[in-house]
Amino acid sequence: MNRIRQALPSVLVIALLLSVWWAVVRATASVIFPTPWQVVTGTLELVEDGTLWMHIGASLFRVGTGFLLAVVLAVPLGLWMGWVRGAFVTLNPIFQILRPISPIAWIPIAILWFGVGNASPIYLIFISSLFPMIVQTTAGVHTIERRYLRAAENFGVSRTTLFTRVVVPAVLPQIIVGMRIGLGVAWLVVVAAEMIALRSGLGYLIIDSRNAGNRYDLVIAGMILIGVIGLMLDGLMRLLEGLRSVRWRYAH
Amino acid sequence: MRTKIEAKDVQKSFVSDAGPLCVVEGASFSVGDGEFVALVGPSGCGKSTLMSMLAGFVRPDRGSVQIDGVEVAKPSPSAIHISQHGSIFPWLTVRENLMFGLDRHARAERAGLADHYAGLVGLTGFEKSYPHELSGGMLKRAELARALVVKPEILFMDEPFSALDALLSLRLRGELLRILSEERHTVLLITHDVEEAIHLADRVLVLAPRPTRIQAIFEVPFSHPRKLASPEVQQLRVEILRELGVDRFD
């Protein structure tokens, strides 16, 4: 009941926006810009011919692959850079230079290296979610409170135990934050990457719908789907924050 | 009594913006085996730095710290340091925290030992709780249990009860005494609470303001359980406070 009451204002605002949209399209008698209902029927069309699931599946596959590759590289690398001062001093400047480069700027190079198949967007997602996760993980190691390291030192545990029982769990909340940021960026990038060439994915759906006969109902349907799926992916990541062994960090 | 801890002319400075800042200057004292010694002194007088050197976390610039006649080079599980702010790992359960220092024991034995010491400090039923689910007093109990479970010869306690309310701190003092009557440890306690020092310790060392050195030593000749309200205890308290520069009691 409480949750319903909490959601009520935003539901009302969405309803208001939809009605304004509807009214404006009606008033201007636009032939290109669709009404909300036309977006719904357009979406149903895609559901019926099965292309909707194909596009969503293609985008999720690219994001999943690129993102997981980035996690596999970024987490160990971030831990290493955080723990070994020499690694940080050597590698950090390189990452600081690479980090501000928009993933979109990598598109020409991605096409050159990987062609126009699945590998290009996967590479773009990989490169764009890699840096935030490295930065978060490294910062996480650097901010471990000294009292915990001292306690571990006091008990005379091995380096392996120190790493697996203290360093990694201490940094885990930060790694999860990095993964949330990384996945968010990955989802932004997959859509941009798919606008370039491929024949599938939600980004392709948007560009193709416009090019093939000004189907703006499908353009908007694609946009809304991207938003909703992005929200769901973030929700999935937030589930990780509920793990009992990391909750100490968020429980404020 | 055999000497357990021996500090000889220990000195430590830190570099600050205003040049080197001497925090400990020529502290010399010894602690006997099984003895309970309290260090009292004004806040920020370098007590914690002194204790860090005794526990092996920090090396003195000059002088030496010896335990059982051997120079202290690094921290050791035979001398556990309980820090002021606590260092119970928040990502491990109470039981996992207690098992942390028991790497060398068999797996089954570890859980048994952990639960035994959880019981000793009154944490039975909370073995599977995470620290953020515990109260401040329970965290201190867990901290104490984690130190005791590795059977250290020495406990270094840096204001362990200062963050607790007066009632809880009094109760934990009583429990510490009970545990120490069951298991023998050499204890060095830092506190700014003179009454706490007299309640617990065999001897009280009064430290001078920074740079720290030993200013006076008081024997506490009363047997346990001590009556804190007795005139003798109050007299000793007044003497120690006077040594600390507090002359008026109104």
Q: How far apart are CA A173 and CA A170, in angstroms?
A: 7
Q: What is the dihedral of CA B32, B33, B34, B37, to 10 degrees?
A: 30
Q: Which CATH code for domain B1-78+154-172+186-250?
A: 3.40.50.300
CA distance A138 to chain B (A): 19
Residue B250: predicted pLDDT: 53
Complex ipTM, two decimals?
0.88
Question: Is the Cβ of A153 closer than 8 Å to some Cβ of chain B?
Answer: yes
The answer, yes or no, to whether residue A211 has pLDDT greater than 60, is: yes
A124 and A189 Cβ atoms separated by less than 8 Å: yes
pLDDT at residue B245, as a whole number? 83
Q: Which B residues in the span 51-90 are in contact with A, Cβ-Cβ below 8 Å?
A: 55, 57, 74-77, 80-81, 83, 85-87, 89-90
The mean pLDDT value of chain A amounts to 91
Q: What is the average per-residue pLDDT within B52-81?
A: 93
Average pLDDT over chain B, rounded to an integer: 89
User: Average pLDDT in the A216-229 region?
Assistant: 92
Give the SS3 label for residue B214.
strand
pLDDT number for residue B56: 94
Largest CA distance in chain B: 58
- Give the type of residue at B209: P
Task: Say if residue B82's pLDDT is above 80.
Answer: yes
Which tens digit of pLDDT belongs to each residue from A33-84?
A: 888 998 999 999 889 988 999 999 999 999 999 999 999 999 999 999 999 9
Most B CBs within 10 Å: which of A144, A147, A148, A154, as the mutation test of the B interface? A154
pLDDT recorded at residue A249: 84
pLDDT tens sequence across A87-104: 999 999 999 999 899 888
pLDDT of the residue at B225: 85
Pairing of strands B70-71, B62-67: antiparallel
pLDDT at residue B145, rounded to an integer: 93
Residues of chain A with pLDDT > 90, as a percent, come to 62
Please give the model's pTM, rounded to 2 decimal places: 0.84
pLDDT digits (tens, 9 = 90+) for B194-232: 999 999 999 999 988 877 788 889 999 998 888 888 999
**Rounded CA gap, A89 and A82, in Å?**
10
Evaluate if residue B34 carries a pLDDT over 60.
Answer: yes
pLDDT in tens, B135-180: 988 999 999 999 999 999 999 999 988 888 888 888 889 989 999 9
Q: Is B40 helix (H, G, I), strand (E, B) or coil?
A: strand
Query: What's the pLDDT score for residue A252?
Result: 52
Report whether B94 contacts B142 (CB < 8 A). Answer: yes
Is A93 exposed, middle or buried (CB count within 10 Å of its CB: 0-12, 13-18, 19+)?
Answer: exposed
Cα A48 vs. chain centroid, distance in angstroms? 28
Ranges for all domains in chain B classified under CATH 3.40.50.300: 1-78+154-172+186-250
Q: What does the DSSP assignment read for B85-143? A: T----TTS-HHHHHHTT-TTS-HHHHHHHHHHHHHHTT-TT-TT--GGGS-HHHHHHHH
First and final CA of chain A: distance in angstroms?
A: 25
Q: Is it the case that residue B129 has pLDDT exceeding 70?
A: yes
In sequence order, what E strands does chain B have? Answer: 3-16, 19-32, 36-40, 62-67, 70-71, 79-82, 154-158, 186-191, 203-207, 214-219
Q: Work out the average pLDDT over A214-231.
A: 92
Q: What is the pLDDT of residue A251?
A: 64
Distance of alpha carbon B159 from the chain centroid: 7
Contact map slice: B 107-166 vs A, CB within 8 A: 130-132, 150
At residue B248, the pLDDT reads 67
Rounded to an integer, the average pLDDT of B48-64 is 92
Structure tokens at B201: 């310790």
Contact state of B75 with A249 under an 8 Å Cβ cutoff: no
Rounded Cα gap, residues B77 and A89, in angstroms: 33
Residue from A61, A59, A107 nearest A226 by CA: A59
Instruction: Examine the pLDDT at B88 and tell me if it is beyond 60.
Output: yes
Residue B202 has what pLDDT?
94
pLDDT, position B249 = 60
Label residue B60 by pLDDT band (50, 70, 90).
very high
Quick one: angle between helices A168-194 and A202-211, nearest 10?
A: 20
